[in-house]
C-alpha cells in the first residue's frame, strides 16, 4: 500500500514554535494558548496581520528546525514501513515567504525531514519520497500520479478537491477536533497518529 502524507500541520506541529516566537517578539502575552491558530487570531485581533505573515516566513524558514513532529507521527511512519508499506510526503508550499527575508522554504522543509524523520539513526524518507509542489492543484495531481492508496491531510479542501483521485482513501487529520467524525464525501476523520496507526495499519 502507498500512503501519502501532507507535511505542514499533519506531520509537523507548529503550535509551540509560533507561540515561542510570538513571545520572543513580544506580540503576545503568556495568557495566549500554546496554539498556532490562537497566536494568529490574537495578531489579527490587534491588527497585526502583516506581523503574522512575516512570522510565518520566519518560522517556516529560519526557525524550521525547531518545529516538532506530532506525537506518534514518526512511530506511525516507522511501523508502516516495517509492515512493508511505502510512504511519500506530498505537500504544497510557496518557495519563498510573502513578506520578510527570503528564506527558501522548500529547502528548510527538506532539511527538517532529513533531521527529524529518522528512526535509529536511519532516514525514513529519501529524496525520491517527498514532493513540494507550488499549488494545491499540483499537489492533488501528484497524489493521483503517485497512485496513493491512502492520503492524510489536515485540510478538507485538499481532500475535497475535484481532481482528487476517486480510488484513494481520504483521511482528515484533525487533532483539535474542528470537524465531526465523518464529513461530506466520506472523508475519514482522525484525531491522532495513534488512532491512524490503530485504524489504518
Ligand atoms: Mg497541511
- pLDDT tens track for 34-93: 999 999 999 999 999 999 999 999 999 999 999 999 999 999 999 999 999 999 999 999
Ligand 1 mean position to 72 CA, how many Å? Answer: 17
Work out the pLDDT band at 184, boundaries 50, 70, 90: low
Q: What's the confidence (pLDDT) of residue 182?
A: 66
**For range 8-16, the mean pLDDT:** 98
DSSP codes joined into one string, 140-171: HHHHHHHT-SEEEES-HHHHT-TTS-TTSEEE
Q: Which residue has the cell 512493508?
A: 84
Asked whether the predicted pLDDT for residue 141 surpasses 80, the reply is: yes
Domains of the chain, by residue range, sit at 2-12+69-200, 15-65
Q: Which residues are near ligand 1, the ion (C-beta closer than 5 Å)?
A: 6, 8-10, 154
Ligand 1 mean position to 64 CA, how many Å? Answer: 15
Ligand 1 mean position to 14 CA, how many Å? Answer: 11
Ligand 1 mean position to 155 CA, how many Å? Answer: 6
| Cβ-based neighbours of 62, under 8 Å, separated by 6 or more | 101, 103, 108
Ligand 1 mean position to 120 CA, how many Å? Answer: 26
Work out the pLDDT band at 153, boundaries 50, 70, 90: very high
Ligand 1 mean position to 91 CA, how many Å? Answer: 7
User: In terms of CATH, what superfamily is 2-12+69-200?
Assistant: HAD superfamily/HAD-like (3.40.50.1000)
Ligand 1 mean position to 119 CA, how many Å? Answer: 23
Q: How many angstroms separate the most distant Cα atoms in the chain?
A: 50
Amino acid at each position: 500500500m502507498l500512503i501519502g502524507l501532507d507535511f505542514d500541520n499533519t506531520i509537523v506541529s507548529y503550535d509551540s514554535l509560533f507561540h515561542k516566537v510570538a513571545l520572543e517578539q513580544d506580540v503576545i502575552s503568556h495568557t495566549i494558548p500554546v496554539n498556532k491558530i490562537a497566536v494568529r487570531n490574537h495578531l489579527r485581533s490587534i491588527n497585526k496581520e502583516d506581523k503574522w505573515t512575516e512570522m510565518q516566513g520566519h518560522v517556516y524558514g529560519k526557525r524550521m528546525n525547531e518545529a516538532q513532529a506530532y506525537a506518534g507521527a514518526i512511530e506511525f511512519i516507522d511501523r508502516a514501513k516495517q509492515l512493508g508499506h511505502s510512504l511519500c510526503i506530498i505537500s504544497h508550499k510557496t518557495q519563498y515567504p510573502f513578506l520578510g527575508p527570503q528564506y527558501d522554504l522548500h529547502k528548510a522543509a527538506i532539511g527538517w525531514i532529513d533531521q527529524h524523520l529518522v528512526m535509529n539513526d536511519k532516514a525514513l524518507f529519501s529524496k525520491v519520497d517527498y514532493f513540494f509542489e507550488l499549488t494545491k492543484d499540483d499537489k492533488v495531481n501528484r497524489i493521483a500520479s503517485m497512485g496513493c492508496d491512502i492520503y492524510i491531510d489536515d485540510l478538507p479542501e485538499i481532500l475535497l478537491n475535484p481532481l482528487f483521485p476517486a480510488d484513494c482513501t481520504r483521511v482528515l487529520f484533525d487533532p483539535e477536533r474542528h470537524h465531526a467524525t465523518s464529513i461530506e464525501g466520506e472523508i475519514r476523520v482522525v484525531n491522532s497518529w495513534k488512532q491512524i496507526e490503530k485504524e489504518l495499519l
